[in-house]
Amino acid sequence: MIYSTKKTLAQTLMEIKAAKPKAKGIVFHDLEKQVSKPTVSVTQPSIKDKGKGIMQEPERPLTKKDQVALDEDLARNIQAQLDAKIIEEERLERQKQEEANIALIES
């Protein structure tokens, strides 16, 4: 690269960035210089987290006791919904019978 004195710092930095290899984290070794098997090393990208976030506890799997309690609660809720549905169906059936009786009496 030939640098002229009229280039700005930003232009120079852009040229340097463009001259760098694009594949980050992969290192190729020259086979002629190395007798043993070639190695590829991968570097992890830098983490910009400065640790100022809120620390969260990792979720633990439920214990058997907790799972049984949740299952019982779910079973109670489902049973309550079924009971409510049955009661509603019985109420509608009684209402239909009463309407049929009224219609029979009037005719």
Number of helices followed by number of strands (H, E) in the chain: 2, 0
Q: Which of 4-13, 20-29, 96-105 has the highest mean pLDDT?
A: 96-105
Distance in angstroms (rounded) separating the CA atoms of residues 107 and 99: 12
* pTM for this entry: 0.40
pLDDT tier at 75, thresholds 50, 70, 90: very high
Provide Rg for the chain, Cα atoms: 38
Distance in angstroms (rounded) separating the CA atoms of residues 62 and 70: 10
- 88-100: b or e for each residue (b if 16 or more CB lie within 10 Å)? eeeeeeeeeeeee
| DSSP for residue 95 | H
